[in-house]
Amino acid sequence: MEILHDFDLCVSKAQSLCLIGPNGAGKSTILHSIYGFTNIFSGQIEIDGKEITHLTPAEKLKSCGIAYILQDNSVFPDMTVEENLLMGGYTKENTDESYQEAERIFEKYERLRNRRNQPAKVLSGGERRLLEISRALVMKPSVLLVDEPSIGLEPRYIDMVFEILRDLQQTEKKTIILVEQNAKKGLEFADIGYVLVSGQTAIAGKGDDLLKNPDVGRLFLGG
Ligand SMILES: Nc1ncnc2c1ncn2[C@@H]1O[C@H](COP(=O)(O)OP(=O)(O)OP(=O)(O)O)[C@@H](O)[C@H]1O
């Protein structure tokens, strides 16, 4: 089944791009296609000028640094926070590197450090999301594909998660492509916004400009 048509997306290093649109528009399919979860019948994906269209997710993570952060609750509740974090590096041959990266992450995020030896089920919703993002960081990716980071979170945690993503973009120079139902938060965060309707780009532009666009406002921002 063809879901995306004539779709074109371009993002520079350390930029952020947010995909918004109605349910079923194909937003998650774009992330799945980039990561390699979905068959691509035509077209191609390139990173740094290198064609990677048909690489597997593991190959994309290893050779191009593309990581995918799953939508919603994906922590292992009975494993400790540290064990969850180290799971991010399970494909790495050199486990020392995973331990080093995990230490760096614990150094950076006090919220995880304080819970290091506790089962992940004790974490708040926001802390779980932080753990999911951090687990992807263990492989030192350069591109983060983030599927609905705000889903199921209280407003205060939504702000926290976007601040974490902002820091990863600005401080660690990660490129971030996200799908977000909370169009306002997503467009406030992103440098570039794409409105997807029925598998095609309906509107694309700077995140700020889309926030001011009356059509986007009427359809997705409740005003
Ligand atoms: N593996 C698949 N096989 C068949 N159809 C699929 C598959 N994955 C997604 N679809 C269909 O493709 C369309 C787009 O799905 P997708 O999940 O990308 O939309 P979305 O914009 O992310 O929606 P939502 O906001 O509801 O998550 C939907 O009609 C969905 O049913």
Contact 121, 77 (CB under 8 A): yes
Instruction: Pick the atom of ligand 1 nearest to 196's CA.
Output: 21
Domain ranges in the chain? 16-220
Q: How many CB atoms lie within 10 A of CB 62?
A: 15
CA distance 59 to 77: 28
CA distance 58 to 65: 10
Contact 188, 171 (CB under 8 A): no
- The correct answer on CATH 3.40.50.300 for the domain covering 16-220 is yes
| 179 CA to centre of ligand 1 in angstroms | 13
For residue range 90-129, list pLDDT tens digits in order: 777 777 888 999 999 999 999 999 999 999 999 999 999 9
CA distance 4 to 198: 8
| Interface predicted TM-score (ipTM) of this complex, two decimals | 0.92
Residue nearest to atom 30 of ligand 1 (CA): 24
pTM (2 decimals)?
0.92
